[in-house]
């Protein structure tokens, strides 16, 4: 862990982003810029010009407009490398540090702002093993009665798990439509185990565990996948993948 309470791997990732996004154009040849920004790109004049322009504006945004760094107030979208990296464990002695507490509080804030049932630290740009879960009574009542029964919906209070692990209690699977804030605007059918137990540390560093089934178990499995660099699109029935607004677009 670094002095900021973040993993070295995360810091290296952030440094990589800084190199790619924030270097001034002056002092670099077009070829050097091409290698730094995109080593796989062809060495064409037009592409080099595009890189110069993009690098300049990225540098300007960071230095003049004070662009933010993780933890973000938004959710990272598919394509961001942080979503495909395995998250690093948090040193238990660092859980109560201001830096880790900031990650936890930002996670809760963003989750509630988006009105979602779960969120992981990688989704706000921090590659640490932290997840937040919450399903309120209001969320429950937004679903029809038959949906509540079929899906096994049940409300639960805010739960934070640091360095979580999951044990399958019932290996039977159920397939339902799932969405993800990091694959915004899409959904697909995904199979999940019926019942699981999650264990880890809470926001105070105390050991906690929770046995649950139905939809809460699905949320746990979904968020645990994020900590392993896995998205629901890796497990979905690809034929069911859909834009959630496709019907409205046809009207």
CATH of 81-250 given 3.90.45.10, 1.10.490.10, 3.40.50.620, 3.40.630.20: 3.90.45.10
What pLDDT does 2 receive? 45
* DSSP one-letter string for 115-172: T-SEEEGGGGT--BSEEEEEE-HHHHHTS-HHHHHHHT---EEEEEEEEEEEEEEEEE
Mean of the pLDDT values across residues 105-115? Answer: 98
What pLDDT does 251 receive? 87
Chain-centroid distance, C-alpha 223: 8
Angle separating helix axes 45-63 and 30-37, nearest 10 degrees: 70
Beta bridge partners of 72: none
Mean of the pLDDT values across residues 130-155? Answer: 95
- Is pLDDT larger for residue 78 or for residue 2? 78
Helices (H) and strands (E) in the chain, counts: 8, 6
Q: What is the pLDDT of residues 193-216, one digit of tens each?
A: 999 999 999 999 999 999 999 999
What is the C-alpha separation between 194 and 174, in angstroms, rounded? 6
Cite the residue boundaries of each domain of the chain with CATH code 3.90.45.10: 81-250
Q: With 0-12 CB in 10 A as exposed, 13-18 as middle and 19+ as buried, what is 246?
A: exposed
| Residues 6 or more apart in contact with residue 219 via CB below 8 angstroms | 117, 118, 133, 135
Mean of the pLDDT values across residues 38-57? Answer: 58
Mean pLDDT of the residues in the chain: 85
Q: Which residues are catalytic?
A: 223
b/e string for 150-188 if b means 16 or more Cβ within 10 A?
eebbeebeebbbbbbebeeeeeeebeeebbbbbbeebbb
Residue 172 predicted with pLDDT over 50: yes
| Residues 6 or more apart in contact with residue 10 via CB below 8 angstroms | 70, 88, 126, 127, 128
pTM: 0.75
Collapsing DSSP to helix, strand or coil, 81 comes out as: helix
Residue 42 predicted with pLDDT over 60: no
Residue 152 predicted with pLDDT over 50: yes
What is the C-alpha separation between 168 and 166, in angstroms, rounded? 7
Residue 3 predicted with pLDDT over 50: no
In the chain, what percentage of residues exceed pLDDT 70? 73
The first and second tokens of residue 192, run together, are 């999940």
b/e string for 68-99 if b means 16 or more Cβ within 10 A?
eebbbeebbeeebebbebebbebeeebbebee
> Rounded to the nearest 5 degrees, what angle is found at the Cα of 143, between the Cα atoms of 240 and 238?
10
Do 176 and 190 contact (CB within 8 A), yes or no?
yes
Distance between first and last Cα of the chain: 53
Mean of the pLDDT values across residues 113-127? Answer: 98
């Amino acid at each position: 862990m670094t002095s900021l309470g973040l993993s070295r791997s995360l810091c290296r990732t952030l440094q990589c982003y800084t190199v790619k996004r924030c270097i001034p154009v002056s002092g670099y040849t077009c070829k050097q810029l091409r290698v730094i920004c995109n080593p796989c790109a062809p060495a064409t004049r037009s592409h080099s010009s595009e890189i110069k322009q993009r690098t300049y504006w990225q540098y300007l945004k960071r230095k003049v407009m004070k662009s933010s760094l993780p933890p973000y107030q938004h959710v990272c979208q598919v394509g961001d490398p942080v979503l495909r990296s395995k998250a690093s464990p948090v040193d238990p002695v660092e859980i109560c540090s201001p830096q880790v507490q900031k990650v936890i509080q930002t996670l809760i804030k963003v989750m509630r702002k988006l009105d979602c049932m779960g969120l992981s630290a990688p989704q706000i740009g921090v590659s640490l093993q932290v997840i937040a879960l919450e399903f309120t009574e209001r969320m429950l009542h937004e679903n029809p009665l038959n949906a509540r029964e079929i899906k096994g919906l049940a409300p639960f209070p805010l739960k934070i798990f640091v360095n979580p692990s999951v044990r399958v209690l019932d290996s039977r699977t159920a397939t339902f439509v799932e969405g993800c804030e990091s694959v915004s605007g899409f959904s697909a059918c995904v199979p999940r185990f019926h019942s699981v137990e999650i264990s880890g540390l809470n926001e105070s560093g105390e050991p906690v565990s929770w046995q649950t089934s139905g939809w809460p178990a699905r949320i746990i499995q979904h968020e645990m996948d994020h900590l392993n660099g896995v998205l629901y699109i890796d497990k979905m029935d690809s034929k069911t993948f859909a834009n959630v607004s496709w019907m409205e677009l046809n009207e």
